[in-house]
């Protein structure tokens, strides 16, 4: 921890322009998974120019693929994902701040959350068929086929990080605003889908106690388990949901409960 803090201090003291720092190719050893044809295909779907192929090779390398390559010099896309996530949040926050001058902080935060969450990023990644480029182990590929959005969302954030390193902030900003956001917005993500929160507001507005969520059943083997969850108010089950995680099942159960309450009030 002491060394980490000292590294941060030393970096601040340098006072160098970030774009003037030569990024050593030693940090991005060539992997060889992007030949000329695949590089051109990736450029076409991203609508960008790739200058340093190594950045993008690392961006599409999932950590599970490291074991397949069996090369200690190769890194996964997690560091680029960290960078891309930061760039994405800054660009979207800046864009929302400038284009929504009468919206308060709470709603801006909610809007940003809708635009940059894993589901929205995976939606765009699927739209451009990014999964054809991401390198995975066999088991991770199966998880992706089963609907694991986090793999695609993480890869897209890593791609943003690679664009930032390769071409600078303006290129990354243009990619986010003119490529990602239009697709995401056109798919109705700008609505509140936190059904648990909406259900809580609804039942409390009626003077009822907070809903309780109980796991009713667990289905399947440990590596591919699904959960069935019921949501209860005063011991009455208002909705039921099934998902690959307890949180997903709870959200589906809450959504079904809201629909039931709406029908009852019609």
Mean pLDDT of the region 162-190: 90
**Whole-Å CA distances, 32 to 57, 202, 208:** 8, 54, 60
Catalytic residue among 85, 166, 202, 250: 85
- As a whole-number percent, the residues of the chain with pLDDT over 70 amount to 87
The answer to whether 71 is a known catalytic residue is: no
Q: How confident is the model at residue 152 (pLDDT cuts 50, 70, 90)?
A: very high
Domains of the chain in sequence order: 21-185 (1.10.1520.10), 195-265 (3.30.160.20)
Catalytic residue among 57, 157, 166, 250: 157
Q: How confident is the model at residue 6 (pLDDT cuts 50, 70, 90)?
A: low
**pLDDT number for residue 2:** 60
What is the SS3 string spanning the chain? CHHHHHHHHHHHHHCCCHHHCCCCHHHCCCCCCCCHHHHHHHHHHHCCCCCCHHHHHHHCECHHHHHHHCCCCCCCCHHHHHHHHHHHHHHHHHHHHHHCCCCCHHHHHHHHHHHHCHHHHHHHHHHCCHHHCCECCHHHHHHHHCCCHHHHHHHHHHHHHHHHHHHCHHHHHHHHHHHHHHHHHCCCCCCCCCHHHHHHHHHHHCCCCCCEEEEEEEECCHHHCEEEEEEEECCEEEEEEEECCHHHHHHHHHHHHHHHHHHHHC
Q: How confident is the model at residue 22 (pLDDT cuts 50, 70, 90)?
A: low
Q: What pLDDT digit, counting tens, does each position of 23-55 carry?
A: 655 578 888 899 999 999 999 999 999 999 999
The answer to whether 188 is a known catalytic residue is: no
Q: How confident is the model at residue 10 (pLDDT cuts 50, 70, 90)?
A: low
Q: What pLDDT digit, counting tens, does each position of 175-186 carry?
A: 999 999 999 888
Q: What pLDDT digit, counting tens, does each position of 69-121 carry?
A: 877 778 999 999 999 999 999 999 999 999 999 999 988 998 898 899 888 99
**Whole-Å CA distances, 137 to 28, 126, 143, 148, 164:** 20, 19, 10, 14, 27
**pLDDT number for residue 14:** 56
Task: Compare 3 and 66 and report the one with higher pLDDT.
Answer: 66
């Amino acid at each position: 921890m002491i060394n980490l803090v000292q590294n941060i201090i030393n970096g601040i003291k340098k006072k160098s322009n970030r774009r003037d720092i030569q990024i050593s190719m030693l940090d991005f050893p060539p992997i060889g998974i992007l030949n000329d044809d695949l590089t051109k295909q990736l450029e076409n779907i991203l609508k960008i120019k790739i200058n340093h192929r190594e950045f993008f090779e690392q961006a599409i390398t999932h950590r599970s693929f490291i074991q397949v390559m069996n090369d200690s010099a190769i890194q996964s896309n997690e560091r680029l994902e960290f960078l891309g996530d930061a760039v994405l949040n800054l660009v979207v926050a800046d864009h929302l701040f400038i284009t929504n001058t009468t919206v308060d902080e709470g709603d801006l935060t909610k809007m940003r959350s809708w635009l940059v969450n894993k589901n929205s990023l995976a939606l765009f990644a699927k739209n451009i068929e990014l999964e054809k480029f991401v390198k995975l182990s066999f088991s991770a590929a199966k998880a992706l086929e089963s609907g694991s959005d986090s793999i695609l969302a993480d890869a897209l954030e890593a791609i943003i990080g690679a664009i930032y390193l390769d071409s600078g902030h303006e290129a990354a900003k243009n990619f986010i605003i003119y490529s990602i956001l239009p697709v995401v917005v056109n798919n109705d993500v700008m609505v509140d889908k936190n059904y648990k929160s909406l259900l809580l507001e609804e039942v409390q507005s009626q003077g009822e106690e907070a809903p309780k969520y109980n796991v009713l059943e667990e289905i399947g083997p440990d590596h591919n388990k699904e959960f069935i969850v019921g949501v209860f108010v005063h011991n009455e089950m208002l909705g039921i949901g099934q998902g690959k995680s307890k949180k997903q099942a709870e959200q589906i159960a809450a959504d079904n409960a809201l629909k039931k309450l709406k029908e009852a009030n019609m």
